[in-house]
Chains A and B, each alone.
Chain A
Amino acid sequence: METTTNNRAPHLNLDATSKSEFAAVAKWINFNAIAALVLLGITVLSIIIIFLKLGVFVSQFDPLEAHSTGIMIGVMIRLTASLLLNCLLLAVAVNIKKGLLFTDQAQLSQGVKRLAFYFKLTGLISIIVLILVILGLLALTFLSRYAF
């Protein structure tokens, strides 16, 4: 019954306002992705500068030590995830813009598909972060109760 209702979804045509709103969304998604990529670049640059400035620290830095390795892996995962998400956002903006410019339904569909994938990835990352926070809180509670 529910499937039948979903299949008979009402038809929606994009009027001038919808097209202008879609164009504005694409523009701001583009700005956002570029700003985030610049931020990513500056973060990487500042990490390199910190490592270069604190040469002593680098020589003392033991990558095999569990704590240091954990921090490095955490930073690398964060940077990679950010890079992937923002490249995806750039692709969304490009597809939507092309779709509107050339009245290309396939490009528009691809853009919206990538936007859906972006939200899905962000949602999955939120779930992972939520689980890690809950595990961290549980570990803290456990340690504070039984360690001392």
Chain B
Amino acid sequence: MAMAMCYCCCRFFIDSYISLNMEEDILDDHLLEMDLQVDADVAQHLKYSWKWAKFISVIMFVSCALIVITALLKISLLRLVLSRLTDNYLGLNDVDEWVLWCIFGVSIALLGFTYYLLYRFSKKIKQALQTGDTAQLNAGLRSLKLFFMIATIFAMLLVIKNIISLF
């Protein structure tokens, strides 16, 4: 009799625990359904995004490489272009050659780094969509944020330069 009562009590607690857990799971699922998620629609758009972002970044890497190769092959042309750019855009006249080389190197490195961030975005988003890993998605979004941050800084510098040249 006591054994039967113990069994009934245990059974009752186990059933209650299971049903409570099931209710919590159902509630969590419902909340997740209500919360934002990367559904099939968003995943499809993210897929297009990473494909085009990868294409753009590869084009920019190739362009950077071509600029460097042309610069190394035609140093006189590079000198001419850089001196004109420094005269027109930075307001520097008759600067030393090493300064021109430094400006060239920094510009290429910055451009390369900016588009590396876009490439990283495409890589991470692709991995996130394939594996369902939220950490990869976050890393991809972080890279995209940095990409737009650098682009904004460049745009603001150009705005300041244009305002100065306007007056």
Chain A contacts to B: CB under 8 angstroms: 9-15, 17-19, 21-22, 24-25, 28-29, 31-32, 35-36, 38-39, 42-43, 45-46, 49, 99-100, 103, 105, 108-109, 112-113, 115-116, 119-120, 122-123, 126, 130
Given A11-B132, A42-B163, A115-B45, 4 further pairs, Cβ under 8 A: A10-B129, A113-B45, A115-B49, A122-B56
Contact A12 B141 (CB under 8 A): no
Q: B138 contacts A109, CB within 8 Å? A: no
Q: Say whether B141 contacts A119, CB under 8 Å.
A: no
Chain A residues near B131 (CB-CB < 8 A)? 10
Residues of A within 8 A of B89 (CB): none
Q: Is the CB of B132 within 8 A of A18?
A: no
Residues of B within 8 A of A (CB-CB), count: 44
Chain B window 135-155, contacts with chain A (Cβ cutoff 8 Å), 1 for yes, 0 for no: 001100110110011011001
Residue numbers of B with Cβ under 8 A of A are: 32, 34-43, 45-46, 48-49, 52-53, 55-56, 59, 128-132, 134, 137-138, 141-142, 144-145, 148-149, 151-152, 155-156, 158-159, 162-163, 165-166
Measured in the bound complex, the distance between the Cα atoms of B38 and A122 in whole Å is 24
When distances are taken between beta carbons in the complex, the residues of chain B under 8 Å from A9 are: 40, 43, 129-130, 132
Contact between B141 and A35, CB atoms less than 8 A apart: no
B37 neighbours in A (Cβ, 8 Å): 11-14, 105
B58 to chain A, nearest CB (A): 10
Contacting pair B152 A31 (CB below 8 A): yes
User: Which single member of B35, B46, B48, B152 contacts A32 (CB below 8 Å)?
Assistant: B152
Interchain CA distance A31-B131 in the complex, whole Å: 32
Tell me which of B49, B141, B151, B152 contacts A18 (CB under 8 A). Answer: B141
User: Across the interface, do B134 and A15 meet the contact criterion of CB distance under 8 Å?
Assistant: yes
B36 touches which of A31, A45, A103, A122 (Cβ 8 Å): A103
